[in-house]
C-alpha cells in the first residue's frame, strides 16, 4: 500500500473544495439562524465586592500587609460564594422577589425550591488582578433577575463568609444595575463556530470515506499493483455532454470523430492508440479485445474511439460488437442491428449484409445482431475463428467490444484468437476488489493482458497538459489524423 503524504491530503481536500465550502456556508448559516431566532436573549449584571483582611485598617499596621492578607482570602471567598448553602439562601430570597413563571424561565425549580446548581450556572466570580476585589457577574434571560441575583448575593455573602472563614469581611460600594441591552447570544461568534464545526466535520468525513474507499483513483497505483502497463487515461465526458444538451446514454457517446470533441479527449485516445500499437509488438495478429471488470466502466466508448483513432491513421479498421447480450455500438454509430455478428457466425447472413462500411472514414462496423441464446458458444466456435482469419486479411486492425469480464466469460473464450485484451476501469467507480477478480480470471485463462485504460478521469488532471503542449490554435480534435506527423505527436 502506498504511503499518503501531506501533499496527498491537500490534493484530496482541494478536490473537494466546493463541497467543503458548501458545508461551511450551511454550518455558518444554520448556526446564525439558530442563534438569531431560536436562542433566548441573555442579560448581564455585575457588581464588585471588596475583601477586607484580618487587620483593621485603623490600627497602626502596614497597609501593604492588609492588602496581601486580603488577597489570600480571595480564593477562599470565591469558593464560599458558590456553596450550596449560599445558593439555597439566594434561591429563597429570589422566591420572595419574583413570581414562579419568571423564575422557572431562568432556573430549574424542584419541590418549590430553586435548584442550587441552576443558580450557580448563571454566576461568574473572578478576582481582579493585583487587588483584593472580586467581580461578580450574573447572566440570565431577564435583566431584572440578573441584577437581583447580584444584589441579593452581596447581602447574603458576608454572613456566610464570616461563618465559614471566621476572619475578614466582604463589602460593596454600589448596587448592581439593570442593563436592558442583551449580551447574548453572540450571533457572529456562533456563526463562525458553526462554520468551523462544519469544516472539521466534512474534512473528517472526507478522510474517513477516502480511507475506506477502495476504488481505483491513481493510475500509478493500479499499474504498480498488477505490474501492467497503463495505456492511457481519458477525461470525463459528462460536462461536455451537458454543454451539448445530450443525454447520458448510448446515443450520447462521445466520439473523437465529432469536430466538437474536446481536444484533450481526442489526444488521450490517440495516445492510447500509440501505446496499444507498442503493446501488440511485432505480432502479425492485430486483433484487440476491449473489455472491463464491470458494466458501465466505459469499455464500449473506449473500443469505439480506439477504432476511430486507428482509422485516422489511414488504416483499414474493423470494429466488432461482440457484446451480444447488451449491444450498444449500433446505437453509437446509428446503424441498424437487424443483421450482425450473431447471424454471421451461424451463417444466416452474409458478410456484405452484416458489415456497415465507413461508419467513420476508414472504419467498418459489425454490430452484434439479434441477441442469441448462447453468445459464449458462438464466440468459441470455429465459425467465429474463421471469420477473424478472413477479416485479418482485409483489415489492418480489428477491435472487438466484449461483455464485462466479471459478468460473463465471453472475452476469455477468444484469448487464442486475438493479440491481447485491453481492460478499461472507471476512475472512482471500479474497485480494486473488482479488478482483482478480473485479473484472476485473465490469469486463470492465461490470456495476454495488454494493459489498462483508466476512464472518466477528473477533467482538471490532464487538460492543462494538452492545452500547453498542443493547443496552438490549429483546430479541434475532429481533424483528420494521418500517419507520420501526428502519430509522432502521440
Transcribe 369-383 into DSSP letters: -SPPS-HHHHHTSHH
Instruction: Quote the pLDDT of residue 19.
Output: 94
153/371 Cα distance (integer angstroms): 91
Q: What is the mean pLDDT of residues 220-233?
A: 93
Instruction: Quote the pLDDT of residue 81.
Output: 86
* Cα four-point dihedral sign 480, 486, 489, 490: positive
> What length is written for the chain?
490
350 vs 462 pLDDT, higher one: 350
At a CB cut-off of 8 Å and minimum separation 6, what does 243 contact? none
Percent of the chain with pLDDT over 90: 66
- Residue carrying the nine cell digits 482483482: 436
Q: What is the mean pLDDT of residues 202-230?
A: 91
Q: What is the mean pLDDT of residues 16-27?
A: 95
Instruction: Quote the pLDDT of residue 169.
Output: 72
Percent of the chain with pLDDT over 70: 85
Contact status, residue 172 vs residue 53, Cβ threshold 8 Å: no
Cβ-based burial of 256 (10 A; exposed 0-12, middle 13-18, buried ≥19): buried
Please say if the pLDDT value at position 106 is more than 90. yes
For residue 258, what pLDDT band results from cuts at 50, 70 and 90?
confident
457 vs 18 pLDDT, higher one: 18
- Residue carrying the nine cell digits 450498444: 328
Instruction: Quote the pLDDT of residue 236.
Output: 81
To the nearest whole number, what is the mean pLDDT of the chain? 85
For residue 57, what pLDDT band results from cuts at 50, 70 and 90?
very low
Angstrom CA distances, 22 to 13, 19, 36, 188, stand at 13, 5, 21, 19
Instruction: Quote the pLDDT of residue 383.
Output: 95
DSSP bridge pairs for 424:
453
For residue 67, what pLDDT band results from cuts at 50, 70 and 90?
low
Count of CB atoms within 10 A of residue 87's CB?
Answer: 21
Please say if the pLDDT value at position 387 is more than 60. yes
Lowest-confidence pick of 48-62, 237-251, 418-432? 237-251
DSSP 459: G
Instruction: Quote the pLDDT of residue 133.
Output: 85
Instruction: Quote the pLDDT of residue 173.
Output: 82
1/225 Cα distance (integer angstroms): 9
The H-or-E segment that residue 279 falls in is helix 263-280
Q: What is the mean pLDDT of residues 314-318?
A: 96
Please say if the pLDDT value at position 189 is more than 90. yes
460 vs 451 pLDDT, higher one: 451
For residue 201, what pLDDT band results from cuts at 50, 70 and 90?
very high
Radius of gyration of the chain (CA): 40
Instruction: Quote the pLDDT of residue 114.
Output: 95
Instruction: Quote the pLDDT of residue 249.
Output: 46
Instruction: State the maximum Cα–Cα separation within the chain, in Å, rounded to a whole number.
Output: 128
Instruction: Quote the pLDDT of residue 485.
Output: 36
7 vs 143 pLDDT, higher one: 143
pLDDT tens digit string along 125-166? 998 887 778 899 999 999 999 999 999 999 988 888 777 776
Taking the model in full, what pTM does it have?
Answer: 0.66
Instruction: Quote the pLDDT of residue 237.
Output: 66
Amino acid at each position: 500500500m502506498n504511503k499518503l503524504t501531506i501533499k496527498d491530503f491537500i490534493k484530496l481536500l482541494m478536490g473537494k473544495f466546493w463541497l467543503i465550502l458548501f458545508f461551511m456556508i450551511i454550518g455558518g448559516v444554520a448556526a446564525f439562524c439558530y442563534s438569531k431566532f431560536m436562542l433566548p436573549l441573555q442579560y448581564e449584571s455585575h457588581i464588585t465586592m471588596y475583601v477586607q483582611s484580618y487587620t483593621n485598617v485603623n490600627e497602626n499596621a502596614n497597609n501593604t500587609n492588609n492588602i496581601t492578607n486580603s488577597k489570600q482570602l480571595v480564593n477562599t471567598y470565591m469558593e464560599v460564594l458558590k456553596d450550596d448553602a449560599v445558593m439555597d439562601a439566594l434561591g429563597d430570597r429570589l422566591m420572595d422577589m419574583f413570581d414562579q413563571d419568571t423564575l422557572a424561565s431562568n432556573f430549574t425549580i424542584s419541590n418549590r425550591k430553586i435548584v442550587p446548581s441552576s443558580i450557580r450556572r448563571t454566576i461568574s466570580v473572578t478576582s481582579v488582578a493585583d487587588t483584593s476585589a472580586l467581580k461578580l457577574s450574573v447572566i440570565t434571560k431577564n435583566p431584572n433577575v440578573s441584577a437581583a441575583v447580584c444584589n441579593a448575593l452581596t447581602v447574603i455573602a458576608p454572613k456566610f463568609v464570616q461563618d465559614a472563614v471566621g476572619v475578614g469581611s466582604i463589602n460593596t460600594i454600589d448596587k448592581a444595575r439593570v442593563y436592558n441591552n442583551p449580551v447574548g447570544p453572540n450571533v457572529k461568534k456562533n456563526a463562525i463556530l458553526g462554520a468551523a464545526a462544519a469544516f472539521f466535520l466534512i474534512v473528517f468525513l472526507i478522510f474517513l470515506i477516502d480511507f475506506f474507499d477502495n476504488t481505483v483513483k491513481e493510475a500509478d497505483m493500479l499499474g504498480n499493483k498488477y505490474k501492467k502497463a497503463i495505456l492511457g487515461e481519458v477525461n470525463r465526458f459528462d460536462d461536455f455532454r451537458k454543454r451539448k444538451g445530450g443525454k447520458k446514454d448510448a446515443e450520447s457517446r462521445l466520439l473523437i470523430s465529432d469536430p466538437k470533441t474536446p481536444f484533450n479527449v481526442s489526444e488521450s485516445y490517440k495516445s492510447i492508440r500509440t501505446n496499444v500499437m507498442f503493446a501488440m509488438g511485432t505480432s502479425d495478429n492485430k486483433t484487440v479485445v476491449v473489455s472491463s471488470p464491470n458494466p458501465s466502466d466505459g469499455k464500449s466508448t473506449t473500443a469505439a474511439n480506439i477504432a476511430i483513432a486507428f482509422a485516422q491513421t489511414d488504416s483499414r479498421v474493423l470494429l466488432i460488437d461482440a457484446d451480444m447480450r447488451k449491444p450498444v455500438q449500433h446505437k453509437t454509430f446509428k446503424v441498424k442491428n437487424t443483421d450482425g455478428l450473431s447471424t454471421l457466425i451461424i451463417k444466416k447472413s452474409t458478410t456484405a449484409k452484416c458489415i456497415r462500411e465507413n461508419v467513420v472514414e476508414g472504419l467498418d462496423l459489425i454490430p452484434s445482431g439479434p441477441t442469441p441464446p448462447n453468445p459464449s458458444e458462438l464466440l468459441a466456435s470455429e465459425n467465429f475463428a474463421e471469420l477473424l482469419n478472413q477479416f485479418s486479411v482485409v483489415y489492418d486492425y480489428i477491435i472487438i467490444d466484449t461483455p464485462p469480464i466479471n459478468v460473463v466469460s465471453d472475452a476469455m473464450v477468444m484469448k487464442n484468437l486475438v493479440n491481447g485484451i485491453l481492460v478499461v476501469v472507471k476512475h472512482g467507480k471500479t474497485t480494486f476488489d473488482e479488478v482483482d477478480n478480473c485479473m484472476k480470471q485473465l490469469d486463470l485463462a492465461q490470456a495476454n493482458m495488454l494493459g489498462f485504460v483508466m476512464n472518466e478521469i477528473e477533467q482538471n488532471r490532464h487538460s492543462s497538459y494538452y492545452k500547453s503542449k498542443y493547443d496552438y490554435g490549429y483546430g479541434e480534435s475532429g481533424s483528420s489524423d494521418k500517419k507520420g506527423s501526428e502519430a509522432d505527436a502521440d
